[in-house]
Amino acid sequence: MNPIPIVDSHVHFWNPRRLRYPWLANNNALNRAFEPADFFSQTLPVEVEKVVFVEAGRAQTQNLLEVGWVDDLAAREPRIRGIIAHATLERGVGVRQELEALSKHRLVKGVRRLLQDETDPGFCLESVFIQGVKSLAKFSFSFDLCIYHYQLVDVLELVRRCPEITFVLDHVGKPDIRGRVLAPWMAQIKQLAAFPNVWCKLSGLVTEADIAHWLPEDLRPYIQHVLDCFGYKRVMFGSDWPVATLATTYPRWVETVQAAIAGASDLDQRAVFSTNATTCYRL
């Protein structure tokens, strides 16, 4: 297995007995508690050195409760080194009080306001939303972008308007891997990578593929294109656990990424699996 101790940039924990997760209501496979002990029991024999928790879609009003709960988890599991919290950026400058509260939690490194389910064209380009995004700068918070590939055109404009913000693209922008579609995703990823303040996670690919029958070669064109565009200094490994368990084991995903970057130098491989996430999220 991978000899590099991993910094996993994208892990979720949740417990429906503690918080409400509306999206789990019709998801029998995932509608139970997934906590650090479950995660670390499933990562073996991989060595995971650090974990970044990413907000898990709890009820919107429970974002601070979620951060407090993860703080408690981290007190017992010191490998949890960062939190990407939810914030209602659509409130514009009104979100600053919320961000101020988040900033009091030392593990909070950034924010994710889920965009993938927004159906209004241009939602993230509304002036009030952009004001909310720009408000992150005061707190040195990054912004995780969780979108589908067809939303990349709006995200390109959002990034252009917010050069002061560090953006992290989750799940390589959720391309249609199942349909083996590459265009216009490839061109838009190249455009996005041209912005020096954007990073990209190698995460979530298996659940965009055929979850029951995917093969590493199905993912390789997408992984290689991201590496070609962003280089080895702005790409980081993420598991998207436990969502990824719908399609893969943890060791298999590590092996898949390891095989895809096997030709890179030891320094570049370490960057993808460890140092880039540590740098980007200031762990």
Please give the distance of CA 149 from its chain centroid, rounded to a whole number.
15
- Is 209 contained in some domain? yes
Of 185, 176, 180, the closest CA to residue 155 belongs to 185
Phi, psi of 8 (to 5 degrees): -90, 115
Q: How do residues 195-211 score in pLDDT, each as one tens digit?
A: 999 999 999 999 999 99
| pLDDT, position 121 | 85
> For residue 140, what are the domain limits?
6-280
- Asked if residues 30 and 24 have their Cβ atoms less than 8 Å apart, the reply is yes
| pLDDT, position 1 | 65
| pLDDT, position 36 | 98
User: How many domains, the chain?
Assistant: 1
Please give the distance of CA 74 from its chain centroid, rounded to a whole number.
19
Average pLDDT over residues 139-163: 98
- What is the reported pTM? 0.97
- Is 16 contained in some domain? yes
pLDDT for 58 beyond 70: yes
- Is 13 contained in some domain? yes
- In angstroms, the Cα distances linking 56 to 21, 49, 81, 89, 123 are 8, 21, 16, 17, 21
CATH number, domain with residue 180 = 3.20.20.140
CA distance 266 to 243: 29
The DSSP letter of residue 256 is: H
Average pLDDT over residues 182-187: 98
The DSSP letter of residue 20 is: -
- Is 141 contained in some domain? yes
Q: Which two tokens stand for residue 79?
A: 């490998």
- Is 1 contained in some domain? no
